Amino acid sequence: MNFRTLATSSTSFLCTCASNNVAFINTCTSLRSFCWQNKLRFYCKHSRSTPTTQLYQARDASSLPEKTRIETIAESLRSNAFKKVLVVSGAGVSVSAGIPDFRSPGSGLYDNLHKYDLPYPEAIFDVDFYNQNPQPFVTLAKEIWPGVNYRPTLTHCFFSVLDKKGILRRVYTQNIDGLEAVAGVTEEKLVECHGHFRSSACIKCRTPFDAELCQSTMIEQGEAPKCNSCGGSVKPDIVFFGEVMPSRFSDLVHYDVASSDLVIVLGSSLMVAPVCNIPDWVKSNVPRLLMNRDLVGTFGKVNDVFMEGDCDDSVRELCRLVGWEDELDAIYASTHSQP
């Protein structure tokens, strides 16, 4: 692992990232937690800058594919040429549901956490910080708990359309809002890379805790549940910094990238490993479609297509070209008519 940590003074640490792999990120997170516990200042360029592995591949808008490339993908979907569509989704797909993304300047979650009085923005998802002070995450969880305040977007419903058509290989979502499942994506076709709210456990002894009781304790009482076995704090099975990703990711990702015939990336900054690497792991001849406000990652290659703008607008346009717009709207209507 190419990693360098420099003690800039007796009261601060500077972490410079020269890698984008998950081992580095976990080490970086551990150092951040150490500094917080010991009242040291910590600086890291990783979480808010483009990974160095991606810098040289940035593309100017003038080099992007023409609209005819989008129509070609639409025609292939209409003719059932694609049978194993692999989807990677980020926080941008849930923005229109009212859930902020993480990194957008001004409106992103990390820029609007002042009310939680955190030592650093990412602390709200830091397991060591949660052990010391669970209240900020509990407050946030009350706002974003799946099915309580938010309903699926058109983009989530698009995933369900792909599933119902029988051409969805898998959805790899970086989100914890659970809206893919609410939209009807079957559990078999879903990999929630950063966990979910449907189960919970103690952060110390890992003893499972009743998920409904965890929800009611956090939402109704505004407190973190306590473990019946060791008295430790309980949280939903959301992957915090420093925790291991669900084994389902490693169990499925290699097969999925090897067998996919189309990759669609939506609403992601492609900055968090290892999920950000999925589009680069597919075969070089597999078309890659990016629906995003910004050009990210290594997109801009010969088989890539970029639909710039909001995810929902791009999804509707693609479904219009394919002839799936009525099905998309029907699923959207059904998910919003539910109590």
What residues are labeled active site?
194
- Antiparallel, parallel or unpaired: β 168-173 and 3-9: unpaired
Terminal Cα distance for the chain, rounded = 49
User: Using CA atoms, how far apart are residues 246 and 236, in angstroms rounded to an integer?
Assistant: 13
User: Using CA atoms, how far apart are residues 102 and 79, in angstroms rounded to an integer?
Assistant: 37
Strands, E assignment, 76-194 = 85-89, 168-173, 190-192
The answer to whether 174 and 275 are in contact (CB under 8 A) is: yes
Backbone dihedral region for residue 39 (phi beyond 0: left; psi -120 to 50: alpha; all else: beta): left
**Non-local CB neighbours of 152 within 8 Å, separated by 6+ positions:** 97, 179, 180, 182, 183, 332, 335, 336
Q: Cα–Cα distances in Å, from 70 out to 112, 128, 183, 280? A: 36, 45, 25, 20
274: cis peptide before it, omega within 30°? yes
User: Using CA atoms, how far apart are residues 259 and 243, in angstroms rounded to an integer?
Assistant: 29
User: Using CA atoms, how far apart are residues 139 and 155, in angstroms rounded to an integer?
Assistant: 27
Cβ neighbour number for residue 320 with a 10 Å cutoff: 12
Whether the CA torsion 172, 178, 181, 183 is positive or negative: it is: negative
Q: If DSSP codes are grouped into helix, strand and coil, which group holds residue 127?
A: helix
